[in-house]
């Protein structure tokens, strides 16, 4: 049991650090697509931190994994999140160059490694869980973090080569 509390505390720290990283990245970023990507991800990491805090608080009181979720787990689909990012950035993009620079590329690489680290951490907890509710919770978070990684890879691809990104997105038109 203390191990699980320690894991929840570690995960809480990971999510808070992720939120802080994304907020700092958004503040320093002049590219609208990247800025909105980082802001969206900061919001989701903040929500994840709330989940871990709620579970930590519940386990501290009951000394066991909660049988029912102490929080409403909000699942946000990757396409919905990507659409929001590009919709928010569209207005800003007209007045800003959307080319990927070396500093922005490094921010993306760091962000993707943070997401991979979270996937490994939560995945290992899901694999070790005896409790089905606990396993489901960590599997939910693995899916969320995989979605974040997909968002980052997709927006990085857009920033690296917008013409190719648009071609990939519209491929269904070309294929019929």
Which residue in this structure is represented by tokens 């990939």? 168
The per-residue pLDDT for range 85-113, each reduced to its tens digit, is 666 655 554 555 555 566 888 999 999 99
Helices of type H across 29-131: 32-62, 78-93, 102-128
What is d(CA 167, CA 176) in angstroms, rounded to the nearest whole number? Answer: 14
The per-residue pLDDT for range 147-164, each reduced to its tens digit, is 999 999 988 888 876 655
Q: Is the pLDDT of residue 165 over 60?
A: no
**Mean pLDDT value of segment 23-29:** 91
The per-residue pLDDT for range 5-21, each reduced to its tens digit, is 999 999 999 999 999 99
What is d(CA 45, CA 85) in angstroms, rounded to the nearest whole number? Answer: 16
Domain at 2-175: CATH architecture: Up-down Bundle (1.20)
Q: Is the pLDDT of residue 27 over 70?
A: yes
Contacts of the segment 35-39: beta carbons below 8 A, 24+ positions apart: 35/89, 35/92, 36/84, 36/85, 36/86, 36/88, 36/89, 36/92, 37/85, 37/151, 37/152, 37/155, 38/107, 38/111
| Average pLDDT of the chain, as a whole number | 82
Contact 112, 153 (CB under 8 A): yes
What is d(CA 90, CA 133) in angstroms, rounded to the nearest whole number? Answer: 40
Q: Is the pLDDT of residue 2 over 50?
A: no
Instruction: Report pLDDT for 1.
Output: 46
- DSSP letter string over 142-173? HHHHHHHHHHHHHHHHHHH-HHHHHHHHTHHH
Q: Is the pLDDT of residue 115 over 70?
A: yes
The per-residue pLDDT for range 29-86, each reduced to its tens digit, is 888 888 889 999 999 999 999 999 999 999 999 888 887 676 677 766 766 776 776 6
């Amino acid at each position: 049991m203390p191990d699980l509390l320690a894991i929840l505390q570690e995960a809480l720290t990971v999510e808070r650090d992720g939120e802080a990283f994304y907020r700092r990245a958004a503040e320093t970023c002049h590219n609208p697509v990247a800025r909105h990507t980082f802001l969206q991800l900061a919001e989701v990491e903040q929500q994840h931190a709330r989940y871990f805090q709620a579970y930590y608080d519940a386990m501290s009181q009951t000394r066991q994994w909660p049988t029912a979720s102490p929080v409403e787990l909000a699942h946000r689909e990757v396409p919905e999140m990507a659409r929001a990012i590009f919709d928010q950035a569209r207005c800003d993009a007209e007045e800003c160059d959307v080319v990927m620079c070396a500093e922005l590329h490094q921010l993306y690489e760091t962000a993707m490694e943070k997401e991979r680290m979270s996937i490994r951490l939560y995945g290992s907890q899901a694999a070790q869980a005896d409790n089905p509710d606990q396993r489901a919770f960590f599997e939910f978070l693995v899916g969320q973090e995989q979605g974040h990684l997909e968002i980052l890879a997709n927006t990085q691809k857009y920033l690296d080569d917008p013409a190719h990104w648009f071609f990939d997105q519209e491929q269904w038109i070309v294929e019929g």
